Structure 1
Amino acid sequence: MGSLDISTLLNPVFLTALLSIVVANILLSGDNAVVIALASRNLPKGQQGRAIFWGSAAAIILRIVLTIAAVQLLNLPYLKIIGAIALIWIGVQLLADGDGEAETQAHPSVWGAIRTILLADLVMSLDNVIAVAAAAQKGPEETRLLLLIIGLGLSIPLIIFGSTILLKAMNRFPIIITLGSGLLGLLAGDMLAGDPIIKGLIQQDGLENARTLFEVVGVAVVILAGTYLKKKDSKKTDS
Structure 2
Amino acid sequence: MREEDCAAVCVPASLSAEVAGYTWSRDYVGQSGGAVYRLHSKAGAPDLFLKHGSDNVADDITGEMLRLRWLARHLPVPAVIRFVADPDEAWLLMTAVPGETAYQALEERPDCRIATIDALATFLRRLHTIPVSDCPFISDLPHRLARARARIDAGLVEEDDFDAAREGWTAEQVWGALQQLLPLPSDSVVTHGDFSLDNILMRDGAVVGCIDVGRVGVADRYQDIAIAWNSLGEFDAALQERFLAHYGIAEVDRAKLQVHLLLDELF
- TM norm structure 1: 0.31
Q: Which has the higher contact order (CA 8 A, sep 6+)?
A: 1
More strand by share: 2
- TM norm structure 2: 0.29
More helix by share: 1
